[in-house]
Chains A and B, each alone.
Chain A
Amino acid sequence: MGVALLVDTVTVEFGSFRAVDALSLAVDFGEVRAVIGPNGAGKTTLLDVVSGITRPKQGRVIFDNATDITRASEAAIALAGVRRKFQKPSIFEGLSVHQHIVIGTQGGLRRSLAQGALVERVDEVLDVVGLADLAHRSASELAHGQKQWLEIGMVLASNPRLLMLDEPVAGLTEEETERTVALVRRLKRSDRAIVVVEHDMDFVDRIADRVTVLHEGRTLFEGSMANARADERVVDVYLGR
């Protein structure tokens, strides 16, 4: 299938602070890639660049081998097939669970699905994230873990080809983390790339094919989790702390 996401020497600066420093990264279709590293390493900024929220100072971002999304709008990037879950659960407090999934499934002001297909897909997603019983509750009434799942449901509903999850198990109970592991494994497909930013190393170990360790906006290490644990520099800046 080839390269789902190519980040090519991207630099992001906030004032005099260089959050991402000439970073390059390639994620293949069919792969689950974990991006780890200490706070301030540039993980979330990297996701912001890919989703179009932050404009890089230099460099290019190529989606699906050919589409240059460096200067595209957030909506255009999303419509190309990129979805991202935010670090802080980002949901719409004034809407119901069901309405969230409809918004996630439909994607774009123009209707993309016929009514029948839409209803079917929404029910399916509600089942996958285990919120079918709460479909008509207001999202503001949900517990933290359920809000995380609601947002995950919203971003997977459109069957994205690149799915980015920013700290999907932060604040979740052990049982909820377990279910998230199963979900990520289930979402893995040969025509989809999944990028996960997470601090929970056991979780990363269980889902990631490869890990990229960022430090001060640069790639410190890339390879298997086992090798990352053995790498002196990685232990030094992150894992050993």
Chain B
Amino acid sequence: MKPLASHHAFSILLAAVLAVALLLVISIATPFGLSAYVANTVGQLAAFAVLALSLDLIWGYLGILSLGHGLFFGIGGYVVAMHLLKHSWQVTGKVPDFMQFMGWSEFPFYWAGFGFFPYALLVAVAVTLLISGVFGYVSFRSRVGGVYFAIITQALVYVAMLLMFRNDTGFGGNNGMTGFAVVFGWPIELKSVVIAMSAVSVLVLGMILLGCRLLLESRFGILMIATRDDEVRLRTLGYETLRLKLVVWCLSALIAALAGMLYVPQVGIINPRLLSPELSLEIAVWVAIGGRGHLIGAVIGAVLVNAVKFWLSAAAPELWPFILSGLIVLVVLVFPNGLVDLAKLKLVRPMGAKRLSSETTELH
């Protein structure tokens, strides 16, 4: 049972997210408010926060750690990049860089229809569901969990990265895809368009936050926590946890793909490095630092870590790995529940310590 304080904290966070969205909307319509640069940064942070929420949903509330969530983020990103390139070509007639590089004058056949956004969206959903569904079913069916599952997800994202590095696949190869000129018929570099994309990202973050909250408070959410805490106990009470885990896993993958669809138009580029194991590991770090098993924790962790990263990558890029590692050590040793511990000023035993040990086979 969550204490009342956490309800308050959630409401405050949701209100803050909506306030930022409102500020962005004001900035679109009037000369007041945020600059395009700041708005763009805020929008990217919001996309990362959505990504962190997707991982927190399965790691924090279902006890399944994925170190390959960059895969689904990448699927969303690649599909939206294909849409933007095709759409830009339709409007401006400019042939994408990667095709010029390959010496192609026509799009590969599987690019057909991508200029139409609903179709691209459908493809993103279908591919995400297919990959997460098949992988999740096979893994959960054979009761693969814990560290083994995490390692396989990591391998999966690595394989995807290697595939995308190939230039002949028609997805941009090692240079990736860039040069998006038009989004929904609007010039993508126009200030109001930049701010509008940011506003959409922040609004989506608010919606995902609220949706996750409603899910977790439902009967289904209670069963998620029960699965996390003692899956065998829940199964022997008559609950088929396979189906439950599969549904949440696929939902989490979809949210990660959505984050990728928000992120790529705002950074203006996608390349295979989005699928590098480092990014996937970093998502887990954001959630761990913010406090897994808390929606607020995931959002704050993602925003804080990435804000520091943005700032440092300009000021002192060589310091970043040390700061990130330092934060991880601090979280593991002192604040097992991340910043949420700091907020409570209570250094409790990590809830995960028991969970991790209970993942090893029990012999009664």
Report B233-252 residues with CB < 8 Å from chain A CB. Answer: 233-241, 243-244
Instruction: Tell me if A78 and B364 are in contact (CB < 8 A).
Output: no
> What residues of chain A lie closer than 8 Å to B235, measured between beta carbons?
73-75, 78
Interface residues as binary, B286-302 with A (CB distance below 8 Å gives 1, 0 otherwise): 00000001000000000
Q: Which of A51, A83, A95 contacts B1 (CB 8 A)?
A: A95
User: In this assembly, does A220 line the interface, its C-beta being within 8 Å of a C-beta of chain B?
Assistant: no
User: In this assembly, does B152 line the interface, its C-beta being within 8 Å of a C-beta of chain A?
Assistant: no
State whether A109 and B236 are in contact (beta carbons under 8 Å apart), knowing that A88-B364, A92-B229, A95-B1 are contacts in the complex: no
Instruction: Tell me if A103 and B234 are in contact (CB < 8 A).
Output: yes
Chain B interface residue count, Cβ-Cβ cutoff 8 angstroms: 25
Instruction: Tell me if A78 and B225 are in contact (CB < 8 A).
Output: no
> What residues of chain B lie closer than 8 Å to A14, measured between beta carbons?
363
Instruction: Tell me if A154 and B229 are in contact (CB < 8 A).
Output: no
* Min distance, Cβ B99 to any Cβ of chain A, angstroms: 49
Instruction: Tell me if A78 and B232 are in contact (CB < 8 A).
Output: no
Looking across the interface, which residue of chain A has its beta carbon closest to that of B230?
A: A90
Instruction: Tell me if B351 and A75 are in contact (CB < 8 A).
Output: no
Instruction: Tell me if A86 and B229 are in contact (CB < 8 A).
Output: no
The prevalent SS among residues of B at the interface is helix
Instruction: Tell me if A103 and B222 are in contact (CB < 8 A).
Output: yes
User: In this assembly, does B223 line the interface, its C-beta being within 8 Å of a C-beta of chain A?
Assistant: yes
> What residues of chain A lie closer than 8 Å to B233, measured between beta carbons?
86, 90-92
Instruction: Tell me if B238 and A107 are in contact (CB < 8 A).
Output: yes
User: In this assembly, does B25 line the interface, its C-beta being within 8 Å of a C-beta of chain A?
Assistant: no
Instruction: Tell me if A75 and B230 are in contact (CB < 8 A).
Output: no
> What residues of chain B lie closer than 8 Å to A88, measured between beta carbons?
364
Instruction: Tell me if B364 and A48 are in contact (CB < 8 A).
Output: yes
Assembly CA distance A79 to B239 (angstroms): 8
Query: Which 9 A-B pairs rank lowest in CB-CB distance, beginning with the nearest?
Result: A78-B238, A107-B238, A92-B229, A44-B364, A96-B1, A74-B235, A90-B233, A94-B225, A75-B240
Instruction: Tell me if B237 and A104 are in contact (CB < 8 A).
Output: yes
> What residues of chain A lie closer than 8 Å to B363, measured between beta carbons?
14
Instruction: Tell me if A109 and B239 are in contact (CB < 8 A).
Output: yes
> What residues of chain A lie closer than 8 Å to B232, measured between beta carbons?
53, 74, 90
16 contacts between A and B (CB under 8 A): A44-B364, A74-B232, A75-B235, A75-B239, A91-B229, A92-B229, A93-B229, A94-B293, A96-B1, A102-B222, A103-B222, A103-B237, A108-B239, A138-B1, A154-B237, A166-B364
User: In this assembly, does B210 line the interface, its C-beta being within 8 Å of a C-beta of chain A?
Assistant: no
Assembly CA distance A53 to B233 (angstroms): 10
Report A167-217 residues with CB < 8 Å from chain B CB. Answer: none
Instruction: Tell me if A109 and B237 are in contact (CB < 8 A).
Output: no
Q: Which of B236, B238, B240, B354 contacts A93 (CB 8 A)?
A: B354
Instruction: Tell me if A94 and B237 are in contact (CB < 8 A).
Output: no
User: In this assembly, does B228 line the interface, its C-beta being within 8 Å of a C-beta of chain A?
Assistant: yes
User: In this assembly, does B226 line the interface, its C-beta being within 8 Å of a C-beta of chain A?
Assistant: yes
Q: Which of A94, A109, A137, A154 contacts B244 (CB 8 A)?
A: A109
Chain A interface residue count, Cβ-Cβ cutoff 8 angstroms: 40
User: In this assembly, does A9 line the interface, its C-beta being within 8 Å of a C-beta of chain B?
Assistant: no
Q: Which of A48, A79, A95, A166 contacts B229 (CB 8 A)?
A: A95
* Min distance, Cβ A62 to any Cβ of chain B, angstroms: 19
State whether A87 and B364 are in contact (beta carbons under 8 Å apart), knowing that A92-B225, A95-B225, A95-B229 are contacts in the complex: yes
Instruction: Tell me if A75 and B238 are in contact (CB < 8 A).
Output: yes
User: In this assembly, does A155 line the interface, its C-beta being within 8 Å of a C-beta of chain B?
Assistant: yes
Assembly CA distance A83 to B234 (angstroms): 11
> What residues of chain B lie closer than 8 Å to A52, measured between beta carbons?
236
With a 10 A CB-CB cut-off, give which of B230, B232, B364 has the most chain A CB atoms. Answer: B364
Assembly CA distance A120 to B141 (angstroms): 36
Instruction: Tell me if A95 and B226 are in contact (CB < 8 A).
Output: yes
* Min distance, Cβ B295 to any Cβ of chain A, angstroms: 14
User: In this assembly, does A11 line the interface, its C-beta being within 8 Å of a C-beta of chain B?
Assistant: no
With a 10 A CB-CB cut-off, give which of B1, B225, B232 has the most chain A CB atoms. Answer: B1
Instruction: Tell me if A84 and B1 are in contact (CB < 8 A).
Output: no
User: In this assembly, does A136 line the interface, its C-beta being within 8 Å of a C-beta of chain B?
Assistant: yes
Assembly CA distance A137 to B1 (angstroms): 7
Assembly CA distance A84 to B363 (angstroms): 15
User: In this assembly, does A158 line the interface, its C-beta being within 8 Å of a C-beta of chain B?
Assistant: yes
Given A78-B236, A95-B225, A95-B229, output 20 extra A-B contacts at Cβ < 8 Å. Answer: A14-B363, A53-B232, A75-B238, A75-B239, A83-B236, A88-B364, A90-B230, A91-B233, A93-B229, A95-B1, A95-B226, A99-B222, A107-B237, A107-B239, A108-B238, A108-B240, A109-B239, A109-B243, A109-B244, A154-B237
Instruction: Tell me if B243 and A94 are in contact (CB < 8 A).
Output: no
With a 10 A CB-CB cut-off, give which of B230, B236, B238, B293 has the most chain A CB atoms. Answer: B238
* Min distance, Cβ B193 to any Cβ of chain A, angstroms: 43
> What residues of chain A lie closer than 8 Å to B222, measured between beta carbons?
95, 99, 102-103
> What residues of chain B lie closer than 8 Å to A91, measured between beta carbons?
229-230, 233
State whether A158 and B238 are in contact (beta carbons under 8 Å apart), knowing that A95-B225, A103-B223, A138-B1 are contacts in the complex: yes
* Min distance, Cβ A180 to any Cβ of chain B, angstroms: 19
Assembly CA distance A119 to B225 (angstroms): 21
* Min distance, Cβ A131 to any Cβ of chain B, angstroms: 14
